Structure formats: C-alpha cells, structure tokens
C-alpha cells in the first residue's frame, strides 16, 4: 500500500471546484412537527412531578403504556444545548426511536443537526421519512444493506457509512461501483485507553495510530466510488460510564480518577489523528465525538465539530449516576396493580423491560413513582408480573399505576407502539415509536 499523497483534494461528488462544501445546516431534516398538537406549554420547574400529578394525567388509560413529558424533554434540550457550548449536536436515533420526536428535537433550533442511526436499514427508513444528514454509527456488512444505502444515495439521500478497516472500504466500494454511485464514509477511530491490567473503554475500532490510519486514507482517497465525509471517535468510558452510584464510594472514586487520566490522552490522540487525516483529506465535513455523558468535556476539543447526544433527551435511569450533570426523567412507563398478596406488596401486570449491556441490577427498570416504591430483589421485573414493595403514605388500590423508568432511553420504545405526550397536566398527543411504525432494526 502506498502512502497517501496530499496534492489532490477529494470533493463531495455534488461539488464543483467553484462550489463551497455543503454545510451541515443545509441538509433538510423534514418539516417541523405540528406545533399546535404537541408543543409543550408549561415550565417543568413550576409544575411538581409527583405521583398524584401523573396519576391524574393518565386516569383511565389502559396499561401498560409509555409516555414522554414534553415539559421535561424541553428542559433536557435546554440543558444539552448549554452543555454543548455552541458545538453542533447530532441526535443518536437509537436513544429516541420515534420519528415524530426526532423531528421535534431537530425543529427546536439549528444547534441540532443530523442523525446518528444505528443500522443501514434504519438510516434508509429515516431518509424516506424526510430526514437527512444520516450517519450510520456502526459498520455495515450485509450486501443488501449497503445496496439499500446505494439506492437511497442515488435518490438524493445523504447517508454516511462507518468504516474501520480496508475490508469495509473495499466491500462498500464494490457495491457502490455496481450501483454507479459514490458513497460517503466516516472513519471510526478508537478512543479507549489502556492502563496496566485494564482496558478502559469499549472494544470498538482497531484504529488508534497514524500507522493504522494511513492505509485506509490512501485507499479511500484513491477510489472513484467512495469518499471521506467524516471522522468519529467515541469516548465511551467518559460518555457512558457513571461515576456517582449510591453506596459505591470506592468504585466512584476509581472511575472518576480513570476518567480524568483518560481525558488528556483522548484529546491528544483525536487531535493528532484528525490533523493527519485532514492533511490528506481536507474536505472532511465533520469530526464527531462524545455522547450524553461527555458533552461538557468533548466540547473543549477544538478539532471536534459536533457531539452525538441521545439519552439526554429522555433522561433514563442509568444517567442519574453522573456527578457533572443531571437530566430530567422525561420518559417512563406505567404498569397496573392487579394483585395485593401482602399489605406492602403490589403486584403489577408486565414490567420486565430490561436494558441491554452487562447484566446487573442497574439494567432493571427503576420504580419512579410513588416515591419509595421498590422492586423485590428475588423477583426483579417480570415477564408477565412485577411485584412492587411500597410502604409510603399514598393509598394504592387495584387498578392504580406504578410508574417506572427504563434503565436506557430508546430501548423503552421497542416495547411500546406509542408514546403518550404530556404537557401542562394533560395528554396533548400520541405519537408512534419505531415499533408502532412496524419497524424493528435490531
């Protein structure tokens, strides 16, 4: 493999020498949602969110159901914008999983631009819903999935494929050639950090050094069928690892120390690799980094042009455990009390909506309201029934709801076809999730 040569500047296939590079703001993200239907109309700070509030809002609703509190969503949008410090924010669709909600967030202001999809099929589906500037956050291999992206590209969509190996590039190139299109690529660089005896981060990309990156740049730059659109580096150990768990002082202290030690190496590695890549591919449109848990640190890196955010909008339970920020619990679900086997045990129908990742109690849904409600350790959240222990002052009866929060954000929407939208003490609309649209991407 020859070394990449900087003299020739690769361009977006739609650009001429006289045309400036297309800015992210110029992409169409679909029409704004019908504001009159579900624009929030109250400040979450002036309306207490307690059990009585939500029980009154949802009185008579068939359970289980999922909901999204628009007033709290707007609080989370404002906090995210403030934490980003002027950086563009790309929405992680896997943490939202509702086209209507994605469009609503995008419509709030220009800070929110573009979507990070989690599969090619999802990206193509979102393009058909009028959304654009779609970055697939993970590699795609199946030929039909890449072919679907190629067909969407031929129809005018802008969908960027993720790569971290020559095999990825050459496979995509073969399919792009067949369809007569040039496909945009994003190079995924690894942001994990190794300490003695510990790999701090996730096993993601193999690209960590200039020597590993150069052959891919050379291959991409030499191809008439693909072009380099962006660079991504996801510091999962900062963005996705909590450091304020109750009763875990030693673990919290260790994670905090590891994060602080990691930040300087992350910033230095990313800056060096971005500078190297831009030397040979100066047209690179975006440098993507971060996640909900690292917005406040990722924004400090000059080479980063945008930050991916997803979980921040719904404020799931896992994100209660970060020392530097706190989001509002905007999304949740309700299950119905159908039994009372003990004066302090309320058994509900459904509830076993467990999050992905390493198995543990933190992946279980968390009872939210009434305050003080708890799962029972020996049963957890069940497939058909979930017993809840509650000793508080609120009188609960058969047919009453127990409100819970999912550990993660978008995974909630895989279990429900709709989200009930709440604002100012009322249900103001109901929108479909991916499941309600008949879609299941993973």
* Per-residue pLDDT tens digits for 266-289: 888 889 999 999 999 988 999 999
Contact 24, 106 (CB under 8 A): no
Residue 79 is predicted with a pLDDT of: 95
Query: 2 in a domain, yes or no?
Result: no
What is the per-residue pLDDT for 27? 36
- What pLDDT, on the 0 to 100 scale, is given for residue 240? 67
Could you tell me which residue, 203 or 194, shows the higher pLDDT? Answer: 203
| Model pLDDT, residue 224 | 97
How would residue 205 be classed by pLDDT, with cut points 50, 70 and 90?
confident
- Measured from the Cβ of residue 97, the count of other Cβ atoms closer than 10 Å reads 27
| Selected residue with higher pLDDT from 22 and 382 | 382
Q: What is the mean pLDDT of residues 284-310?
A: 91
Higher per-residue confidence, 351 vs 258:
351
CA distance linking residue 7 with residue 196, whole number of Å: 42
Question: What's the pTM value of the predicted model, to 2 decimals?
Answer: 0.86
Give residue 34's pLDDT band: very low, low, confident or very high (50, 70, 90).
Answer: very low
Q: Percent of the chain beyond pLDDT 90?
A: 68
Closest among 185, 23, 197 to 110, alpha carbons compared:
23
Note the pLDDT of residue 100. 98
Residue 351 lies in a domain: no
Domain that holds residue 289: 70-310
Residue 236: pLDDT over 90: no
Residue 29 has pLDDT above 50, yes or no: no
Residues paired with residue 90 on neighbouring β-strands, in sequence order: 308
Q: What is the mean pLDDT of residues 284-304?
A: 90
**195 is a domain residue:** yes
User: CATH number, domain at 252?
Assistant: 3.20.20.10
Mean pLDDT of 318-346: 93
For 237-250, what is each residue's pLDDT tens digit? Answer: 777 676 777 888 88
> Does residue 222 lie in a domain region?
yes
Q: Is the pLDDT of residue 59 over 60?
A: yes
Please indicate, yes or no, if residue 350 is contained in any of the structural domains: no
**Candidate ranges 14-18, 102-106, 194-198; pick with highest mean pLDDT:** 102-106
Q: Does residue 432 form part of some domain?
A: no
Provide the domain count of the chain. 1
Question: In this structure, is residue 151 part of a structural domain?
Answer: yes
Residue 51 falls inside a structural domain? no
């Amino acid at each position: 493999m020859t070394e990449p040569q900087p003299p020739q500047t690769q361009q977006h296939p739609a650009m001429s020498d006289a045309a400036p590079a297309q800015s992210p703001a110029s992409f169409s993200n679909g029409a704004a949602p019908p504001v009159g239907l579900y624009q929030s109309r109250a400040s979450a700070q002036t309306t207490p969110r307690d059990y009585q509030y939500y029980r009154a809002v949802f009185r008579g609703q068939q359970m289980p159901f999922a909901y999204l509190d628009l007033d709290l969503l707007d609080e989370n949008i404002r906090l995210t914008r403030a934490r980003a410090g002027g950086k563009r924010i790309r929405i992680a669709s896997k943490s939202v999983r509702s086209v209507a909600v994605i469009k609503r967030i995008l419509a709030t202001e220009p800070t929110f631009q573009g979507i990070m999809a989690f599969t090619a099929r999802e990206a193509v589906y979102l393009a058909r819903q009028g959304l654009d500037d779609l970055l697939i956050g993970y590699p795609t291999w199946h030929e039909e999935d890449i072919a679907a992206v190629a067909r969407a590209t031929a129809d005018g969509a802008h969908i960027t494929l993720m790569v971290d190996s020559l095999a990825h590039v050459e496979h995509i190139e073969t399919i792009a050639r067949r369809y007569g299109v040039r496909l945009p690529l994003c190079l995924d660089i690894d942001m994990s950090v190794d300490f003695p005896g510990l790999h701090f981060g996730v096993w993601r990309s193999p690209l960590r050094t200039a020597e590993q990156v150069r052959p891919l740049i050379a291959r991409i730059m030499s191809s008439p069928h693909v072009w380099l659109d962006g660079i991504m580096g996801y510091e999962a150990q900062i963005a996705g690892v909590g450091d304020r768990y109750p009763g875990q002082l030693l673990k919290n202290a260790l994670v905090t120390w590891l994060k602080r030690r990691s930040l300087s190496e992350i910033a230095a590695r990313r800056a060096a690799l971005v500078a190297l890549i831009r030397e040979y591919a100066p047209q690179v449109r975006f440098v993507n980094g971060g996640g909900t848990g690292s917005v406040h640190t990722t924004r400090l890196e000059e080479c980063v042009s945008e930050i991916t955010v997803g979980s921040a909008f719904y404020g799931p339970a896992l994100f209660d455990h970060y020392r530097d920020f706190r989001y509002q619990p905007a999304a949740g679900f309700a299950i119905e009390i159908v039994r009372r086997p003990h004066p302090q045990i309320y058994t509900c129908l459904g509830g076993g909506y467990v999050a992905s990742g390493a198995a543990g109690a933190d992946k279980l849904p968390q009872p939210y309201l009434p305050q003080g409600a708890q799962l029972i350790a020996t049963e957890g959240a069940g497939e058909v029934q979930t017993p809840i222990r509650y000793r508080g002052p609120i009188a609960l009866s058969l047919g009453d709801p127990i409100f819970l929060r999912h550990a993660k954000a978008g995974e909630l929407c895989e279990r429900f076809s709709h989200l009930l939208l709440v604002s100012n003490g009322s249900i103001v609309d109901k929108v479909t999730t991916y499941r309600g649209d008949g879609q299941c991407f993973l």
